[in-house]
């Protein structure tokens, strides 16, 4: 059953188009991330969902009821949604318990109901022993948990998160993205999460919406998005990859000076080939002599740049940390053609 629907959603500022023709449907209880670089339209889309901006085209529906169109916008406070911002926006003069219970008190719920729901959410977010502390006495991660608890405790129809981890350090971000997924699994609230961090999107999401220049490039689950990108933008934004432009003619596929059987391909083509799908010094359907031209040790793996002999191609290879090769060393580059992912937009 669909919960949130965006139909041909658009937002323009004069001649500048911020969001164009966005179509997206979220199922009840689904966690979907809007992912893309700054200026791609993801935050504008989120603010239209929240009711802070009126669309210039299309419509937004929840449970089949119209919330936004160019002619009408239901105000944010009447949408049954909760939103978490980058800054957390928790009140410094209130304790953890007072912050979390604030929305419940605004709804004039019975005291016993407020206490029951407050105790439950504080236990779930592991803040029950910190209920009487003030925000200044909390770590960044604990403050983020307060913001999450306050948003979830009112049981919103849709939960909106606008880059909520951007103010945390790397280690805490890694912890909190797993925490966000854990809370989602516990409460199953339909969630829209905006981020420019692919790792956050991959860990938290059921599906990821990759946006670029105000449009949706691809919507897919994390695994399919990584292994089967449809465009150069998606392939390059989700993880690292090698782009290989090729031409297939006369039964041969020319990959920058390398000729191999063309198989099902014809014409001008563009492929994505992930660094970990290239191996060194093993047998494979395609084996090419080459050499190491660059290397960097990244702890968990070696990041090599290899060049097949007599070609301008330079390919990145992710090799196990114990697989040590020197710059200038001759090697065999092993490629399984099944790892080549054809892209829809060849250059």
User: Are 204 and 291 found together in one domain?
Assistant: no
User: Are 153 and 300 found together in one domain?
Assistant: no
Confidence (pLDDT) at 347: 56
Start-to-end C-alpha separation, the chain? 40
Share of the chain above pLDDT 70, in %: 99
Confidence (pLDDT) at 9: 98
Number of domains in the chain: 2
In a domain, 330, yes or no: yes
Confidence (pLDDT) at 263: 75
pTM of the predicted protein model: 0.91
When the pLDDT of each residue in the chain is averaged and rounded to a whole number, the result is 92
Q: What is the pLDDT of residues 251-280, one digit of tens each?
A: 888 887 777 777 777 888 999 999 999 999
Confidence (pLDDT) at 272: 95
Q: State the average pLDDT over residues 296-319.
A: 95
Residue 165 is encoded by which pair of tokens? 């981890």
User: Are 198 and 328 found together in one domain?
Assistant: no
User: Are 222 and 320 found together in one domain?
Assistant: no
Residue 173 is encoded by which pair of tokens? 């971000």
In a domain, 148, yes or no: yes
Q: What is the pLDDT of residues 25-41, one digit of tens each?
A: 999 999 999 999 999 99
Nearest to 162 by CA among 32, 48, 42: 42
User: Are 115 and 53 found together in one domain?
Assistant: yes
Torsion of CA 63, 66, 68, 74, to 10 degrees: -90
State the residue for tokens 């740049």. Answer: 305
Around 263, how many Cα atoms within 13 Å sit in the side-chain half-sphere?
Answer: 8
In a domain, 219, yes or no: yes
Pick the last residue of a domain from 236, 260, 281.
236
User: Are 32 and 91 found together in one domain?
Assistant: yes
In a domain, 334, yes or no: yes
d(CA 53, CA 83): 14
CATH number where 308 lies:
2.40.50.140
In a domain, 251, yes or no: no
In a domain, 63, yes or no: yes
User: Are 276 and 145 found together in one domain?
Assistant: no
Domain containing 107 equals 2-236
């Amino acid at each position: 059953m669909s919960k949130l629907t965006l139909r041909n959603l658009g937002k323009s500022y004069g001649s500048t188009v911020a969001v164009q023709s966005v179509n997206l449907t979220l199922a009840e209880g689904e966690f979907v991330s809007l992912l893309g670089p700054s200026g791609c339209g993801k935050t504008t889309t989120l603010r239209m969902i929240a009711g802070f901006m009126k669309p210039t085209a299309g419509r937004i529906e929840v449970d089949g009821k119209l919330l936004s169109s160019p002619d009408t916008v239901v105000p944010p406070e009447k949408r049954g949604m909760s939103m978490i911002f980058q800054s957390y926006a928790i009140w410094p003069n209130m304790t953890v318990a007072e912050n979390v219970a604030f929305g419940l008190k605004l709804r004039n719920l019975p005291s016993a109901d407020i206490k029951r729901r407050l105790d439950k959410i504080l236990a779930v977010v592991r803040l029950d022993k910190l209920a009487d502390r003030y925000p200044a006495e909390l770590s960044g991660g604990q403050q983020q948990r307060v913001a999450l608890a306050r948003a979830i405790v009112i049981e919103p129809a849709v939960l909106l998160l606008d880059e909520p981890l951007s103010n945390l350090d790397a280690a805490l971000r890694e912890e909190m993205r797993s925490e966000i997924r854990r809370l989602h699994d516990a409460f199953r609230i339909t969630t829209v999460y905006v981020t420019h961090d692919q790792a956050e999107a991959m860990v938290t999401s059921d599906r990821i919406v990759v946006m670029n220049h105000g449009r949706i490039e691809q919507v897919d689950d994390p695994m399919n998005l990584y292994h089967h990108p449809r465009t150069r933008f998606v392939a390059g934004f989700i993880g690292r990859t090698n782009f290989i432009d090729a031409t297939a003619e006369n039964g041969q596929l020319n990959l920058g000076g390398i000729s191999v059987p063309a198989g099902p391909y014809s014409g001008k083509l563009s492929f994505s080939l992930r660094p970990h799908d290239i191996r060194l010094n093993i047998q494979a359907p395609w084996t090419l002599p080459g050499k190491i031209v660059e290397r960097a040790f990244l702890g968990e793996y070696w990041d090599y740049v290899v060049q097949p002999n007599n070609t301008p191609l330079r390919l990145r290879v992710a090799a196990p940390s114990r697989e040590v090769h020197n710059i200038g060393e001759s090697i065999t580059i092993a490629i399984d053609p099944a790892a080549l992912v054809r892209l829809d937009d060849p250059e």
